[in-house]
Structure 1
Amino acid sequence: MITGQATAAKEMLEKVSLEAILAPVGGGGLLAGTALASKYFGKGIDVFGTEPSGADDAYRSLKGGTHITEHTPNTVADGLLTTLGELNYTLIKENVKNILTVDDIEIIKAMRLIWERLKIIIEPSCAVPLAAVLCNKPLFSGKKIGIILSGGNVDLDPFFNDYL
Structure 2
Amino acid sequence: GGAVCAIVAAKAPQLIRAAILEDPAFISASSGESNSDWPDNHRAVQALSHAELVAKGKADNPHWSPDTFDNWATAKHEARMEIFNALKTPPPDYRKNAANFGVPVLMITGDEARGVVVSAATAAELQASTPNLRVVNVPGAGHCIRYEQPERVVEIVRGFLSFAL
Fold-level similarity (TM above 0.5): no
TM-score by length of 2: 0.29
TM-score by length of 1: 0.29
Larger radius of gyration: 2
